[in-house]
Structure 1
């Protein structure tokens, strides 16, 4: 049986390098791991407890929760926006944290990776994502990290799926997430 991992990408941009990184993870997932890229984060409204009411949860938020409920672990891809995580990723974590104590992220392994233009590859944003996912109830894999700097130049002519160093690092990340999910099961 395969470990199912849901990938959430914190960039909505069509040419996003983090989106490409997630695509590379899905393409090169090792045997025994299946990466599902969630489509539709742009449609999920900002979390508001007033609209998070049983029977009337917005359809896009319900789809996110349903997708998250059916996986064993999460792989979150975060760019760095003004030194922190993008709102779309924080919003997804907020929706997945509810209902309090029983959200779809609760008790599941979570790894955070990404790429950014800066020289540190978005580590500040990734640290913020780890913090938020942990507070939301996810089991954050603090030792599973991948920050790729200089995304604009590094991936100008090469898709991350065609970068041998990136593929090797992503494969290691996915293997660690898969192992953590198997232990948690």
Structure 2
């Protein structure tokens, strides 16, 4: 049985380079690994404890929790917005952190990667995402990182799925993430 990884993309823009990076990872996932890129983060309401009531959790949030709960691991793709992660990614982490101590991300291996326009590839945002998802209960693989700088130039005419170096890098990230999954889940 394949290791199931859920990909969450922190950019809602149709032409997002991080979405393209997620597509490249899904396309080139190594044998025995399935990466499903989640659709629907834009529909998840901002986290509000008043909405998070058993039996009446908003449908979009319940679907996100269900998808994360069914996954063996999570791979977050984060651009950098004003030096930190985008609100849509933080909101997803907040929903997945609840109920406290038993959220859909609890104990699951998580890796954060991404690409950004700047010279460091969005490392500040990725560090913030690692911090938040770790506090939320995820088991962050701190030593598995991929930050691709100059996304606008690098991917202006080449999709990440067609960039041999990027394909090699995302494939290695997926291998390491899959290896962190409990053998019983694989």
The residue aligned with 1:96 is 96
Cα deviation for residue 97 of structure 1 reads 0.2
Give the TM-score taking structure 2 as reference length. 0.98
Task: Output the CA distance in 2 between the equivalents of 1:148 and 1:68.
Answer: 25
Aligned in 2, Cα 1:130/1:184: closer, same or farther, shift over 3 Å? farther
The residue aligned with 1:32 is 32
The answer for unaligned runs of 5 or more in structure 1 is: none
Cα deviation for residue 183 of structure 1 reads 4.7
The residue aligned with 1:135 is 135
CA RMSD between the two structures: 0.8
User: Are 2:61 and 1:85 aligned?
Assistant: no
Aligned in 2, Cα 1:184/1:88: closer, same or farther, shift over 3 Å? farther
Give the TM-score taking structure 1 as reference length. 0.99
The residue aligned with 1:179 is 179
The residue aligned with 1:67 is 67
Task: Output the CA distance in 2 between the equivalents of 1:129 and 1:90.
Answer: 7
Task: Output the CA distance in 2 between the equivalents of 1:51 and 1:44.
Answer: 11
Count of equivalent residues? 185
Cα deviation for residue 182 of structure 1 reads 3.5
Task: Output the CA distance in 2 between the equivalents of 1:141 and 1:184.
Answer: 19
What SS does the corresponding residue of 1:144 show, helix, strand or coil? Answer: strand
Runs of 4+ with deviation above 2 angstroms: 182-185
User: Are 2:150 and 1:150 aligned?
Assistant: yes
